[in-house]
Amino acid sequence: MTTVVFYEKPGCGTNARQKLLLTRAGHDVEARNLLTEPWTGERLRAYFAGTPVWSWFNPASPRVKSGEIEPEAIEAVAAIDLMLEDPLLIRRPLIEAGGQCCAGFDREPVLSLLQRDDDLDDVQSCTRPEASPCPEPR
């Protein structure tokens, strides 16, 4: 069993399904509010190591969905600044486990925690795609 620190948007159905998968796999999930966490640029950047800047963004964020923000056109420093101002832009969940961290549910350490290497799209896509903008956190 591993303790998984899981930064989520409270009330997000997709995050709820992801936490359930981790719990069912025998892990202790410590959920934290991604939106109220006191992030620093350096700390946030660690979750994105080795991934392209566009993948740091939550594609379901209202500002991304509307086209106001185009992740493919933003450089790393500007991306972090935007995310510190508006945490809804951050790809969720942010995961810490076993000394590793990541953004999203489709890379390490998540794959090892679930002992899967298959497609996890079914637990990454928004459970309420018709909701635009994304519903407010509960």
Which residues are known to be catalytic?
12
61-94 burial code (b ≥16 CB/10 A, e <16)? bbbbbeeebebeebeeeebbebbeeebbbbbbbb
Structure tokens at 61: 């964020």
